[in-house]
Amino acid sequence: MKINSPFLLCLCLLASVAACAKKDESILRLGYLQSDLHHLPAFVAIEKGYYAEQGLKVQVGGVFKAGPEEMSAFGAGELDFGYVGQAPATAALLNGVADIQFIAQVNLEGSAIVARKNAGTDSFRKLSGKTVAIPGHATMQDFLLRMALKNSGMNFNDIMIIVLKPPEMLQALEQKNIDAFIAWQPYPAQAQQSDTVQVLLDSADIWKDHPCCALIARRTLCAQQPQTIQKIQAAHAKACAFIIEHHNEAVAIGMKYTSMERAVVEQSMLHIHYTSLLDKTKASEFVGFLKEQRYIKAADVSRLFSQAFFE
């Protein structure tokens, strides 16, 4: 039918725009960190079509250099679910930055402290007086460094701390702007490819089986669409299982999403344990650290986990 009235034409256009907007609401926006092998399950789920298998429409809503950036995106309503460090997610929730809930674990361990060999830092205790980079305050790496210092009879004031994004750390180390850094994989493994760099401590030596990254979702999504959350969890669990059962293909996917060489990805994956099972006890322990350091205003751990999914 031909529409002659400009008013009717305008109404039709508005209806069409509204229909498109409604259709877009069915698309789930996923976030993860740039070149972070901890988030390999996300890459696998995308590559193997596990979200589509669950009847989900998922698009990448953002790729971030650090967890706090991703949590700001959650706070702005730009993401529906995502892979992120347990530390920034916890701090963001308990400080009111973003209203999210944990729906699965992603990995355990997978960080390391590395240093230049010619900086007089052939052991962790020799970092005293040196400059060490961390990816941010209230991060798991911040916590691990503090724990390593405590275990060595040192304190945080014995070293000089600067904050750098992990992709910038190796260059800073090579240019002698820092003496050491702590970061998540694959950045320690990438640094190890140089003859002038050594690993001082693996995170497994600092806090065995420590939680690192988690899968999170908007609290409203958890409350309003529990079946959607269960489908996301199923895709994630399948991706974790795939990594364990199909190592070579998982390595290839890791290479694709990080643009790093096979040797780096292989070395990294030796130190990362992929799992979808949340450890509430260790999560609570970490919350205690955040409160002790005054990184958070509250310590109500029950807010982290949706009781609809974790009894």
Q: Assign residue 110 a region: left if phi > 0, alpha if psi is -120 to 50, beta otherwise?
A: left
CATH of the domain at 147: 3.40.190.10
Same domain for 275 and 243? yes
Same domain for 238 and 152? no
Domain of residue 250, residue span: 26-109+210-304
- How many C-beta atoms surround the C-beta of residue 63 within 10 A? 16
Q: Are 186 and 265 in contact (CB under 8 A)?
A: yes
**Does some domain include residue 18?**
no
Q: How many domains does the chain contain in total?
A: 2
Same domain for 266 and 192? no
Same domain for 85 and 115? no
pLDDT single digits (tens) 262-310: 999 999 999 999 999 987 788 778 778 778 878 777 656 666 665 544 4
Same domain for 219 and 85? yes
Same domain for 94 and 218? yes
pLDDT single digits (tens) 137-165: 888 899 899 999 999 999 889 999 999 99
Q: Are 187 and 109 in contact (CB under 8 A)?
A: no
**Does some domain include residue 311?**
no
Q: pLDDT value at position 300?
A: 60
SS3 295: coil
Read out DSSP for 37-79?
A: GGGHHHHHHHHTTHHHHTT-EEEEEEEESSHHHHHHHHHTT--
Q: Of the candidates 169, 189, 206, which is a domain's last residue?
A: 206
Same domain for 123 and 249? no
Same domain for 134 and 169? yes
**Does some domain include residue 310?**
no
Same domain for 161 and 48? no
**Does some domain include residue 14?**
no
**Does some domain include residue 6?**
no
- Token duo for residue 305: 């986990």
Tell me: pLDDT of 22 over 50: no
Same domain for 190 and 45? no
Question: Residue 167: CA atoms inside 13 Å, Cβ hemisphere, count?
Answer: 11
CA quadruple 18, 19, 20, 24: dihedral positive or negative?
Answer: positive
CA angle, 95 then 58 then 279, to 5° = 45
Q: Of the candidates 171, 206, 241, which is a domain's last residue?
A: 206
